[in-house]
A and B are shown apart, each in its own frame.
Chain A
Amino acid sequence: MSSALHKKIVSGGFLLIIVYAVLAAAMPLMESFYQIRIDLRLMPISNAHWLGTDQFGRDTLAMVIGGCFASLSVAAMAVIIGAGIGIPLGLMASSQENFASRSILSLNDFIFAFPALVTAILIHNIFGSGIVTAGLAIGLFNIPVFARTLYGAARPLWTKDFIKAARLAGKSNIAIAAVHILPLVSSVAFAQISMQMGLGILAEAGLSYVGLGVVPPMPSWGRMLNEAQTLIVIAPRLAIIPGLAIAASVFLFTWMGDKLSDYADPKRREGHDHDHA
């Protein structure tokens, strides 16, 4: 794939992500459409309700647009926690091999044993259901994900001769990390951010489905799936539509993550296999 085409595709993806963010910001405007109106319940698709209404008379389209907010904010909070703590940890562990770096890696392996759902169950008593619980729970699991990726990308760089040259030029570890290492691993970090946004949206849907995510009246795609389950025979669209919204947004982010990581890997960017000749 040519570099120019690649750039176009990536910028197209960014555009879609911006549209998504705008929709999320529009949630307050939607509020009047997802008030409970029993008189309007289970209305079919019509001009007034483009995607119909649910069993409480709430407009499905408004609910879907409103759901962007919960998804995006939980996933973003989780990524900020994960990347904010995980990236420095990974870089720190990569800079040298000593007790501290081994401890960081062991701690990573330990946190991997806490899937978001288990953490959410545990901290539910402290924070109740809501964006904070979901964001923290997913974010905790994101920490080792980011740390491990950055460690893997940065570790081989530290043994390069240009790092030794930078040391001889009098640069400290932190300065080297900032001017040499970070720029070289930033594309890996961006790819992982995009990937974790997608997986975060998935995780948020799961938590909301079991009642550990955002609470009503804030709309949430996961809870929409839960509420639609009993009506699966009479109104299957209520289950299909929010699922599509989740799948489409996860696809957008994970696909962008893939494109960015292709970009980070020059071998793959050039589009053909290298040989060892």
Chain B
Amino acid sequence: MTTLELKSLSVNIGSRRVLDNLSFTISKGEIVGLVGASGSGKSMTARALCGLLPNHAKPSGTLILNGETNALDDIKAFADKRGRDIGLIFQDPAGAFNPLMSIGDHVAEALVRRDGFTWPHAREKARATLDRAGFPKSIPAFDRYPHEVSGGQRQRAMIAAALVQAPKILIADEPTTALDVTTENAILKLLKQCASEDGLGILLISHDLPALARIADRLLLMKDGRLIESSQLPLTEADAPELARLFELSHKAPAPSPSHEHPTLLQTKAVSKRHNNRSGFLSGSRATIHAVKNVSLSIGEGEIIALVGESGSGKSSLARILAGLDRASHGDVMWASGKGRVQMVFQDPAGSLNPRWTIGRSIGEPLSLPADHPQVKEAARDAGLDPALLTRCPHQISGGQAQRAAIARAISARPDLLILDEPVSALDFEIRDQILSLLERLRAMHGIAMMFITHDVSAARRLSDRMIVLDKGEIVESGLTADVFSAPHHAVTKALLAAASPSIKEGRERS
């Protein structure tokens, strides 16, 4: 039974057509996955369906919901449907919640303000819905504020706030992007449950194709504001060649490692990092947090090591210590050569370049070279960046190009160790593949040792010789990447590997 039918949705911003003639349906209890690169119009589609487009965007088309036809440019009609018929959840930076309102009241609020419930009555219903969404019973939701619960709990609360008005359709816009892999799996399972048990139709938007493939019934692929492919799962190459190709990209086979014999470049001995969490001047309470605990590891020359773990596992703290940006509270970092030069590449390409500097000037910074120096141009070419872009500023180039510029800056200084902190997790699938290829090539070309920090185990598998798994600041597993993949020991490693999905051709879990 079709719950929602979208007919030729188009959106114009000024004279630019950002969404072009989109049509699709969502049935009762069906999960439709919507994929596409950033800027392809996924989020715009989500917001058009909820009547939440920015003021300057002009929609057209029709939406048939429960057999009732609505014109999409009729914003007023939407105000009433929003929340009641179509729920929306999105990525959980803590900012999606009003920081001054308790978690529980976010769920109860609409009942009071829209349906005339009393607060006690609304809270009762909200508590039941929170339970349904798997929000821990042990947490007093009406006495906890958004900053006091974890990201996964916030996402459950956001789902509860959408479910409490019993909508027929839920639009989930990148609901798990900010979450750990294990939490991501739990949230996806919850959504699946809502679809199969309550008959909720879900439009699940994500750039994480493997995750989508695990729970969706159907996939839609968007590119430049158009719907270019639509396919039932499991995918077949004949039905959806582009989706199949993207899927393959995420599971490329590992590059054969040149050698397993590396002379030692650096060693750490029982490195620990404590943070004294002081809230402010004159404040009494202090909490000591071990970000890194007793970490001993060694890195060989020209070796690529993957440092894997969930967020908060201490990966970035360890990286900062190795880079010399931070001091260890205990333990030593010892370089074979006495002192090593370290460069870093960061997750967010936009934030890693000074917005007012030209790309060339940024690349020349470590060596204090002028922007038009031949060495700067050479570094750019090495990183696959067109030297013509060197005179541009960061906002004039794409995210992938910015990441290449950051890599160029790092390698221009010929570091002993290159630390890559989640270098591809903010990038789209295809760009991710290109950057990973670039790193493979750079290793072959220069033999720079790299530490590759990631929660994306498939990227780790493709690039690294050795893998170290970190949990709560401690090393819980380490070994050759191939060995760790074939025989993981620790529970955390197993969970991480399980989250990296199997290929579609190997079959898919179906309920």
| Residues on A facing B (Cβ under 8 Å) | 102, 106, 160-162, 164-171, 180, 183-184, 272-273, 275, 277
The answer to whether B366 and A168 touch across the interface, beta carbons within 8 angstroms, is yes
8 Å CB interface, B30-75 against A: 43-44, 47, 54-56
- Cβ-defined contact, B56 with A272, below 8 A: yes
User: Do the beta carbons of B362 and A162 come within 8 Å of each other?
Assistant: yes
Residues of A within 8 A of B346 (CB): 161, 164-165
Contact A161 B56 (CB under 8 A): no
A166 (CB) vs chain B CBs: closest residue: B365
Binds A, one of B191-199, B353-361, B476-484: B353-361
Bitwise, B71-99 to A at CB < 8 A (1) or not (0) is 00000000000000000000000000000
Contact A275 B409 (CB under 8 A): no
Report if A165-B409 is in contact (Cβ < 8 Å); known contacts: A106-B281, A277-B44, A277-B47: yes
B281 & A165 in contact (Cβ 8 Å cutoff): no
CA distance A170 to B339 in the complex (A): 13
Q: Is A160's CB under 8 angstroms from B47's CB? A: no
Interface residues in B239-285 (C-beta closer than 8 Å to A): 280-281
Interface flag for B133 (CB, 8 Å) = no
Interface residues of A, dominant DSSP = helix
Residues of the B chain whose Cβ atoms lie less than 8 Å from the Cβ of A171: 365
User: For the complex, what is the distance from the CA of A168 to the CA of B416, rounded to whole Å?
Assistant: 13
Decide if B238 is an interface residue (CB 8 Å cutoff): no
Check if A170 sits within 8 Å of B56, measured CB to CB.
no
> Within the assembled complex, what's the spacing in Å between the Cα atoms of A235 and B268?
85
Contact call B406/A165, Cβ cutoff below 8 A = yes
Within 8 A of A (CB), among B341-399: 342-344, 346-348, 351-356, 362, 365-366, 368
Shortest distance from the beta carbon of B57 to any chain A beta carbon, whole Å: 8
Are A169 and B365 in contact, with the CB atoms below 8 A?
A: yes
Partner of A164, one of B47, B55, B344: B344
Q: How far apart sit A164 and B366, CA to CA, in the bound complex (Å)? A: 12
| Complex: A184 Cα to B55 Cα, angstroms | 30
Check B325 for interface membership: any CB of A closer than 8 A. yes
Q: Note all chain A residues with C-beta closer than 8 A to B348.
A: 161
Is there an interface contact between A170 and B366, defined as CB atoms closer than 8 Å? yes
Question: B323–A162 contact, CB under 8 A?
Answer: no
Q: List 7 A-B contacts (CB under 8 A).
A: A160-B352, A162-B352, A165-B343, A165-B346, A165-B362, A168-B324, A272-B56
Say if the beta carbon of B420 comes within 8 Å of chain A. Answer: no
Cβ contacts under 8 Å, B141 to chain A: none
A273 and B53 CA atoms in complex are apart in Å by 12
- Residues A168 and B342 in contact, CB atoms below 8 Å apart: yes
- Which B residues are in CB contact (< 8 Å) with A162? 351-354, 362
CA distance A180 to B406 in the complex (A): 16
Q: A162-B351, A168-B325 are in contact. Are A275 and B54 (CB under 8 A)?
A: yes
The answer to whether A169 touches B366 (Cβ under 8 A) is yes
Say whether, besides A160-B351, A162-B352, A164-B346, A277 and B43 are in contact (CB < 8 Å): yes
Q: Is B227 an interface residue (CB 8 A)?
A: no
* 9 tightest Cβ-Cβ pairs between the two chains A and B: A161-B352, A169-B366, A161-B346, A275-B54, A161-B351, A277-B43, A162-B354, A169-B365, A102-B281
Residues from chain B with a CB closer than 8 A to the CB of A183 are 356
Given contacts A106-B281, A160-B352, A167-B325, 5 further A-B pairs with CB under 8 A are A161-B351, A164-B352, A165-B366, A168-B343, A184-B355
Chain A residue contacts of B323, Cβ below 8 A: 164, 168
Q: In the complex the two chains form, is B55's CB within 8 Å of A273's CB?
A: yes
Q: What's the least CB distance linking B348 to chain A, in Å?
A: 6
For the complex formed, measure the closest distance between the CB of A277 and the CB atoms of chain B, giving whole angstroms: 5
A18 to B56, CA, bound (A): 40
B413 at the interface (CB under 8 A from A): yes
Q: In the complex, what residues of B have CB within 8 A of residue A169's CB?
A: 365-366, 368, 413
Instruction: Report the separation of the CA atoms of residues A170 and B346 in the bound assembly, to the nearest whole angstrom.
Output: 17
Residues of A within 8 A of B352 (CB): 160-162, 164-165
Residue of A166, A273, A275 contacting most chain B CB atoms (<10 Å): A275
Closest to A99 in B: B281
Interchain CB contact under 8 A, B365 and A165: yes
**Nearest-CB distance from B48 to chain A (Å)?**
10
* In the complex, residue of chain A having the shortest beta-carbon distance to the beta carbon of B91: A276
Across the interface, name the chain B residue whose C-beta is closest to A167.
B325
From B353, B365, B410, residue with most partner A Cβ within 10 Å: B365
Give the docked Cα–Cα distance between A162 and B352 (Å): 4
- Inter-chain CA distance A165–B280, complex, in Å, is 28
How close is B394's CB to chain A, nearest CB, in angstroms?
9
Identity of the chain A residue whose Cβ is nearest the Cβ of B42 in the assembled complex: A277
Q: Which residues of A contact B280 (CB under 8 A)?
A: 102
CB-CB under 8 A from B55, the residues of chain A are 273
CA distance A38 to B281 in the complex (A): 63
In the assembled complex, the CB of A66 is this many whole angstroms from the nearest CB of chain B, namely 43
**From B54, B343, B344, B354, contact of A180 by CB (8 A):** B354
Q: Which residue among B54, B356, B368 has the maximum number of chain A CB atoms within 10 Å of its CB?
A: B54
Complex CA distance for A180 and B357, rounded to whole angstroms: 9
Return chain A residues, CB-CB under 8 Å to B54: 273, 275, 277
Q: Digit string of B295-325 for contact with A (CB within 8 Å is 1, else 0)?
A: 0000000000000000000000000000111
Interface residues of B in 125-172 (CB under 8 A from A): none
Closest beta carbon of chain A to B316's beta carbon, Å: 11
Least CB distance from A160 to B in Å reads: 5
Q: Which residue of B lies closest to A159 (CB)?
A: B351
User: Which residues from chain A contact B356 at a C-beta distance below 8 Å?
Assistant: 183-184
Residue on B nearest A274 in the bound complex, by CB: B54
**Chain B residue at minimum C-beta to C-beta distance from A160:** B351
- Once bound together, how far apart are the Cα atoms of A101 and B467, in whole Å? 40
User: Chain B nearest CB: distance from A159 CB in Å?
Assistant: 9
When distances are taken between beta carbons in the complex, the residues of chain B under 8 Å from A180 are 354
How many Å from the CB of B375 to the closest CB on chain A?
Answer: 14
A1 CB, min distance to chain B CBs, angstroms: 16
Q: How far is the CA of A167 from the CA of B343 in the complex (A)?
A: 10
